[in-house]
Amino acid sequence: MTPRHLLEVDDLTRPELAEVLALAQDHSLHRVMEGRGAALLFEKPSGRTRHSTEMAVVQLGGHPVYVRPDEVGIDERETAEDVARTLSQFHAAICARVFDHTVLERMAQAGSVPVVNLLSDRAHPLQALADLLTLLEAGGLDGRSVAWVGDFSNVARSLAVAAAMSGIGVTVAAPAGYGPSDADLLRVRDLGGSIEVTDDPAAAVRGVDAVTTDAWYSMGQEAEAAARRPRFEPYRVDAALMREAGPGAMFLHCLPAHRGEEVTDEVLDGPASRVWPQAANRLHAARGTLAWLLGLRP
Ligand code: CP
Ligand code: NVA
């Protein structure tokens, strides 16, 4: 049987997304990985993703094998295709954090087990699933609204896709050149989603259920940090911006946060912040996704 993969949230249909979320919310253990392994390859550092995915595999009864950035050697030691073919001999799933999204596509094409995107330059689907779980815990998905403030990053793209598939409206406030591309807007709208773009953070956040942001520069973009900082200064999420959002708005952040840059301590540590339950949901999202990909259906 051809394996299913999760490289971006819309690799799932809407009913399948609902199934994955239902499995994620079921915290009883389904040991579908008993005696099986998962290869976790990281080309970049990770705090949450490594731990949540390792523990998800453990909770499913499997054995995670972490592969360090210097051990991966994709397209250096051997091709991405040969890495995937090799790991498919030993593991029930290949999970990878890569610089170049097309590496994941090549591994999915060549291997014979599910490939899970643990973050690429384009997408971070497990983060988006955790974000949906966090919104679900706060009352549901359909008809809710999220404001994305700052760089329209890999995390933003996956959240916009996930939102479109869940009836959540998205507003984006970003400096010119750092917002969603035409292709991003088309993708969200093709999925039936609503996405509006402005350069005014206050306008973007007014009345939304959640305000969220990400680092002003992502892993691999460190050389751009000095040039980006002045462009993003007006897009910091601070207490004044949260007041614009209104008393009902929660604050979300995928983390790691660059405190004092895209978000202030006051907001991150304040009463509206849901970032720690959101981080906890990374485990549930990973467990639900792996269980679903390995054949468990609710
Ligand atoms: N949110 C997230 O993916 O965090 P890490 O980069 O620490 O894994
Ligand atoms: N956009 C960030 C997210 C980190 C979880 C990055 O890619 O570095």
For 4-54, write each residue's pLDDT tens digit.
999 999 999 999 999 999 999 999 988 999 999 999 999 999 999 999 999
The per-residue pLDDT for range 269-285, each reduced to its tens digit, is: 999 999 999 999 999 99
Tokens of 65: 């094998």
CA 94/CA 21 separation, integer angstroms: 21
How large a percentage of the chain has pLDDT more than 70? 100
Cα of 46 from ligand 1 centre, angstroms = 5
For the chain, which domains are there? 9-124+282-293 (3.40.50.1370), 139-273 (3.40.50.1370)
- CB-based pocket (< 6 A), ligand 1: 46-49, 119, 127, 254-256
Mean pLDDT of 118-129: 98
Quickly list H helices, 166-274.
182-190, 201-205, 225-232, 239-245, 265-268
Look at residue 297 in the predicted model and tell me its pLDDT: 81
**151 CB less than 6 Å from ligand 2?**
no
Which residue numbers are catalytic?
A: 97, 124, 127, 214, 254, 282
Sheet holding 37-42, edge to edge: 63-67, 37-42, 93-97, 115-117
4: which DSSP letter?
P
Judge contact between 156 and 149, C-beta under 8 A.
Answer: no
Q: Locate 167 and state its tokens.
A: 């009836």
Amino acid, res. 255: L
Rounded CA separation 134/141 (Å): 10
